Every structure is written in C-alpha cells, then in structure tokens.
C-alpha cells in the first residue's frame, strides 16, 4: 500500500508543481514583456548585476541547508529547527556583507547606480532566509498546492506594483520594488499557510549534522554559481550594463522555458528520490523515467526556439532587444542539457555524495572562468560559446558520477545520445 500512496502523492505534487511553474513563468514573462517597453535596457542590466550577488549569498547561506533537509531520508522537527537557525545566521551575515560592500562593488563595476540597488536588494536575502525552511518542509511533505497559490499571489501583487511604477517612469526603482514586494509578500503568505513553526530549542547534534552536510552543498553552490552566473559578472564588468541587460533578457527567456516544465518536475524529483534512497531498483526506475519524460518535452522545445529566436524577440520584446536573438539561438542547447542534468545532481545529493558534486563543480568553475577571461573580448557571443563548451564536457562527467552512485548504464547511453544529437544540431 505504501508504493501506491507515494505514487499518488508524487502525481498530485507533480501536477501542482507544473501548474505553479507554468503560471509563475507566464506571469513573470508578461510582467517582463510589459516593463521592457518602459524601462531602459541598462536598468535591467543593473538589476541583473545586483541579483547576481543576492544569488551568490543565497546559494551559500540559504539553499545549502535547505537542500540538505529536503534530500535527507526522514528529517524530524529537530532537523528543521537546526536548518532554520543556520539559514537565519547565514542570511543576516550575507545581507550585512552586501550592505557594507555596496559602494565597493559599484566602483569596481564602474556604475554608481549599482550601490543604490544593491543596498535595497540585500533585503531579499533576509526574506528568503525567513521562508526557505518552511518551503523545504512543505516540499518534503509534497504540499505543492499551497506553495503554488502563495507564489502566484505574491507575483501578481509584486508584478502589479512594478508595472505601475515602470509605466510612470521609475525605471530601476520599479524593478527593485517589484522584487522586494514579491519576496516579502511571499514570505508572509508562506508563514500563514505552513503548519510548521520553528522552535528555539535546537539540539547541538542536529545542528552539527546539518552543518556538516550543508557545508558541502554550500561549496557546491558557490562553485555552481561560478559556473552558471560568472558569465553575467564578466558581461557586467567588461561589457557594461546595456550588454548585460541584453544577455540577461536572453537567459531569462530560456530560464522561463526551463522552469516552465523541467524545474517543476525537478522540485518533485528530489524529495521523491529521497524517499526511494534505500530501494535501488525503484530509484533507478524513477531516475530513468524522469530523464526520459523531461527529454521528450524539452528537446523539441529548445530546438524550435533556435530556429525562431528572431521572431520571438521581435514580437515579444520589440526592436530595441533584437541583439538578444542570436544569444538565445546559441545558448538554447545548454539550456536543454541543464534540464536533464539536474537529475544527476539530485541523485548525487540523495545518495549522500555531496562532495562529489563539489569536486565536479569546482573543476567546471575554474575552467569556466579561465575560458571567460579569454573570450570576453569577443563580446556576448564569445561568452555564449564558452557556455556550450563547458556544458558539453561537464555534462558527461555528471553522467559518469551518477552511474557510479546508482549504476544506471542504460541512462548513460540515453543521455550521451541526447547530448550528441543536440550538439550536432547547434
């Protein structure tokens, strides 16, 4: 009886997760398309630079411990309390560092407006810290319906506030207010709908256990950040805010498509894999089914986008964003590999091998940054080509690591075939 019950939970969770991601991405895209008509390209580049630093501290001090809890076999109340405390400490430290370094960062980026935006966006770390453990608890319980409702309501209010200010000429301020309103309201709603509440009684053993596991995930998060976000940093530092705005627009469209389906399924996959961690046969089956289903959806979608990127940008964003079209065509292939590569990372975490992922992402980060230093002189298209090289070889390494953990040789052949077929097209 346990297996059908789990199957029903996973099915319901998958449906609500897909609904959540679909509506969130539709709302986000609509808000972006409208604000793009009223806000200068450079302002989007400045916001992207600020969110870059928010994401850095978030990956290290927030997501690391939340991931540790979600991927654990059977976390109890003590584990969640320890997670909450560690996240609060990390979020406060991260926000303080952002505030203190705002002026320095604006100087090295040669844009004084970054200081203003960076100080305000540091609040995003605090709100994220207050809500992330609750979100992890609800994810672990497969309670995706209230998570979906909370996200959609927060986005509608935040997006509406940002649009109103953008249409009245507030530019960068409108973009920042949109982020802050969405994040703060999301935190409030999550505390309202969640049954779990943190306790001040934290066991030292639980704290140390969560810390030991989370620190590996934190290092992985940092190196993975260097992998996925260093291109935005180099674009901002060497090419300026306008180029970064163009580049971020292309990444945003691809990210929206990615999260529309693949990331929604991934949110269900991690707690599902965690529940099957001791049943090797069912874990292998769940992994292969997730990869096959995701590939069937995302491969045609990204291949089609390569062919019609000019039309998509012209219709959706307008003529002033046309430079984003070739960027979309180049990095669509890497977006596809990301959608199926996320399952490799989930398996490695679930099988208590976070240090493997740390080693892999460390290697990728060093090679990635080295390549960016060489090709940044060739502009945005040079950065995009680097992403293709990195994903092509890094993806293969993740396949072998996953095979060593759960032994899925058929998966290796399936993923290698998918990677080769897409690489030949692009």
Task: Convert the pLDDT of each residue in 349-366 to its tens digit.
Answer: 777 666 666 676 677 777
| pLDDT tens figures, 198-220 | 887 888 888 888 888 777 778 77
- Distance, in Å, from the CA atom of 151 to the CA atom of 189, rounded to the nearest integer, reads 9
At residue 170 the predicted structure's pLDDT band, cuts being 50, 70 and 90, is very high
Greater pLDDT, 347 or 421: 347
Choose the weakest-confidence range: 37-51, 96-110, 190-204, 324-338: 324-338
Residue 154 has pLDDT above 80, yes or no: yes
Local structure of residue 377 (DSSP, 8 states): G
Residue 10 has pLDDT above 90, yes or no: no
Residue 157 has pLDDT above 90, yes or no: yes
| 43 close to 172: Cβ distance less than 8 angstroms | yes
Cβ atoms within 10 Å of 377's Cβ, excluding its own:
9
| pLDDT tens figures, 240-292 | 888 889 988 888 888 777 766 665 666 667 677 777 777 777 777 777 777 77
At residue 342 the predicted structure's pLDDT band, cuts being 50, 70 and 90, is confident
Residue 122 has pLDDT above 90, yes or no: yes
| 66 close to 136: Cβ distance less than 8 angstroms | yes
Mean confidence (pLDDT) of the chain: 78
Greater pLDDT, 1 or 198: 198
How many Cα neighbours within 13 Å face the side chain of 405? 29
- Distance, in Å, from the CA atom of 365 to the CA atom of 399, rounded to the nearest integer, reads 18
- Farthest CA pair distance, the chain: 62
| pLDDT tens figures, 65-88 | 887 777 766 788 888 888 899 999
Local structure of residue 322 (DSSP, 8 states): T
């Amino acid at each position: 009886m346990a297996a059908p019950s789990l199957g029903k939970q996973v099915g319901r969770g998958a449906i609500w997760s897909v609904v959540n991601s679909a509506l969130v991405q539709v709302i986000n895209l609509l808000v972006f398309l409208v604000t793009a008509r009223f806000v200068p390209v450079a302002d989007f580049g400045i916001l992207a630079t600020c969110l870059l630093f928010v994401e850095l501290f978030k990956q290290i001090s927030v997501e690391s411990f939340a991931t540790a809890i979600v991927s654990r076999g059977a976390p109890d109340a003590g584990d969640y309390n320890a997670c909450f405390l560690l996240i609060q400490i990390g979020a406060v430290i991260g926000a303080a560092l952002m505030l203190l370094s705002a002026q320095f960062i604006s100087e090295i980026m040669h844009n004084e407006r970054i200081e203003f935006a960076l100080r305000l966006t540091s609040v995003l770390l605090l709100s994220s810290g207050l809500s992330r453990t609750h979100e992890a608890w609800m994810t672990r319980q497969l309670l995706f319906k209230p998570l979906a409702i909370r996200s959609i309501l927060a986005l509608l209010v935040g997006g509406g506030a940002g649009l109103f200010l953008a249409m009245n000429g507030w530019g960068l301020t409108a973009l920042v207010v949109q982020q802050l309103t969405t994040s703060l309201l999301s935190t409030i709603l999550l505390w309202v709908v969640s049954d779990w509440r943190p306790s001040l009684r934290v066991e030292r053993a639980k704290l140390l256990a969560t810390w030991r596991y989370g620190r590996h995930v934190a290092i992985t998060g940092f190196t993975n950040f260097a992998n996925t976000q260093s291109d935005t940093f180099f674009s901002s530092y060497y090419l300026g805010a306008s180029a970064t705005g163009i580049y971020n627009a292309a990444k945003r469209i691809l990210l929206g498509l990615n999260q529309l389906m693949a990331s929604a399924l991934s949110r269900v996959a991690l707690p599902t894999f965690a529940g099957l961690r001791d049943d090797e046969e069912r874990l292998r089956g769940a992994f292969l089914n997730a990869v096959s289903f995701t590939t069937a959806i995302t491969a045609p979608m990204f291949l089609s986008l390569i062919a019609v990127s000019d039309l998509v940008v012209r219709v959706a964003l307008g003529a002033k964003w046309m430079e984003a079209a070739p960027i979309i065509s180049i990095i669509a292939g890497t977006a596809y590999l990301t959608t199926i590569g996320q399952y490799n990372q989930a398996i490695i975490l679930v099988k208590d091998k976070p240090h493997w992922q740390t080693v892999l992402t460390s290697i990728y980060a060093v090679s990635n940054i080295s390549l960016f230093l060489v090709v940044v002189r060739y502009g945005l298209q040079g950065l995009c080509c680097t992403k293709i090289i990195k994903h092509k070889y890094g993806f293969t390494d993740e396949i072998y690591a996953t095979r060593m953990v759960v032994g899925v040789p058929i998966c290796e052949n399936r993923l290698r075939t998918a990677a080769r077929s897409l690489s030949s097209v692009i």
